[in-house]
């Protein structure tokens, strides 16, 4: 389950789709994989979750693939603990050994994420 309730709203799903469509469905970080996640450039925190310029501003969102999202939020290879990681909706999922090998072999040369300009 996603940490913040706004992720479960119709408004978020529409904004997410807008961001993905704006990017042509391609990850805006690696420019190779499908961008299936609308990622906040300036991360949402408990301190700014009520700031609409952070949460709802399309300029603070970029389309990213699962791998780039995991690297941003959890370091190279993503967040993997005892065969668990987060999917694109923020749900905890079980992964098998072949997934772990793929994650471990990923390159660390991912371009940096964009910086939000105010």
Give residue 30's pLDDT: 93
* Residue 96: inside a domain: yes
* Residue 110: inside a domain: no
* Residue 114: inside a domain: no
* Residue 44: inside a domain: yes
Q: Is the pTM of this model over 0.75?
A: no
**CB contact at 8 A, 47 and 54:** no
Greater pLDDT, 116 or 20: 20
Give the domain range for residue 12. 5-104
* Residue 73: inside a domain: yes
* Residue 11: inside a domain: yes
| Total of domains in the chain | 1
**CB contact at 8 A, 113 and 41:** yes
pLDDT at 98 over 80: no
* Residue 93: inside a domain: yes
pLDDT at 77 over 60: no
């Amino acid at each position: 389950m996603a940490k913040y309730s706004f992720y479960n709203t119709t408004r978020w799903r529409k904004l997410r789709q807008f961001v993905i469509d704006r990017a042509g469905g391609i990850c805006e970080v690696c420019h190779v994989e499908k961008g299936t996640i609308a990622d906040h450039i300036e991360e949402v925190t408990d301190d700014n979750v009520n700031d609409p310029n952070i949460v709802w501003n399309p300029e603070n969102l970029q389309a990213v693939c699962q791998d780039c999202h995991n690297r941003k939020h959890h370091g190279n290879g993503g967040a993997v603990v005892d065969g668990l990681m987060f999917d694109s909706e923020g749900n905890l999922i079980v992964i098998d050994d072949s997934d772990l090998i793929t994650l471990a072999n990923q390159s660390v040369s991912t371009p940096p994420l964009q910086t939000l300009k105010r």
